[in-house]
Amino acid sequence: MARILIVEDEADIALGLVDDLTREGYQVETAATGPEGLKRARGEAWELILLDVMLPGMDGFDVCRELRRARVRTPVIMLTARAHDAEKVMGLELGADDYVTKPFNPRELRARVKAMLRRLDDGSPGVYCFGSVEVDFDRAEVRCGGTPIDLTALEFRLLRVLIERRGRVLSRAQLIEVAWEPATHVSDRVVDTHILHLRQKIEREPSRPQYLHGVRGIGYRFDG
Ligand code: CA
């Protein structure tokens, strides 16, 4: 049974979430302030954290940043009140995995929670196909129409994370964190160059990408 921590100061929203997710079979607990949320998120084992942005004591952005700084890798879904915050979630180097904008539809939230937990279970997705491209994660091979495509190890890591988090925007900082060696200094432009190479290998028309989309001011998103 997955344990979920909800950090939310609005009691009715927190209660609604507890009800809803408990009914889905999760073990759910709550914290009502930033510092309390941070303490519990760091100190106990969770499969997932739902983290509100506007919190007393310390906001959700800082809580998330502190968690990642403390090497806590638990997936975090941010609950944001404004669309503007949602952009911030993905643009900043917070380490959040996803966000849901308030007021959220409970069914959508359940689906996001489920998707996030499923991703943890799955580990490697095996073989993933889009268009005529086949990505074999186990053998680290990519084929297009059956013909092997030569990807560098770095390009493969980029493609892998984009596919694993398909449908979501990944900031350049997030891509750097997963695809490059720790403590390597990489500029945004270097990320863009590698994405460009990747597009030339997997897209039919690299200048009009069908799968690997750029999201202005933020980063990249894979749709496929
Ligand atoms: Ca709040």
User: Rounded CA gap, 68 and 127, in Å?
Assistant: 30
Contact 10, 39 (CB under 8 A): no
pTM score above 0.85: no
Every domain range in the chain assigned CATH 3.40.50.2300: 3-122
Looking at CATH, the fold of the domain delimited by 3-122 is given as Rossmann fold (3.40.50)
Burial 22-53 (b: 16+ CB within 10 A, else e): eeeebebebbbbbebbbebbeeeebbbbbbbb
End-to-end CA distance of the chain: 31
List every span in the chain annotated with CATH 1.10.10.10: 127-222
- The Cα-based distances of 220 to 147, 198, 207 in angstroms read 26, 12, 15
Kindly give the confidence (pLDDT) of every residue in the chain, 224 residues in length, as a single tens digit, with 9 standing for 90 and above: 789 999 999 999 999 999 999 999 999 999 999 999 999 998 888 889 999 999 999 999 999 999 988 878 888 999 988 777 776 776 567 788 888 888 888 998 998 898 888 776 655 456 788 888 988 877 788 998 888 999 998 999 999 889 888 888 899 998 998 888 877 789 999 999 999 999 999 999 999 999 999 998 889 999 87
Q: What is the pLDDT of residue 85?
A: 75
Residues, Cβ < 5 Å to ion ligand 1 = 9, 52, 54
pLDDT value, residue 36: 97
| Distance from Cα 51 to the centre of ligand 1, integer Å | 9
User: How crowded is the C-beta side of 99, counted as CA atoms within 13 Å?
Assistant: 28
Gap from CA of 217 to ligand 1 centroid (Å):
26
Is it true that domain 127-222 has CATH number 3.10.310.10?
no
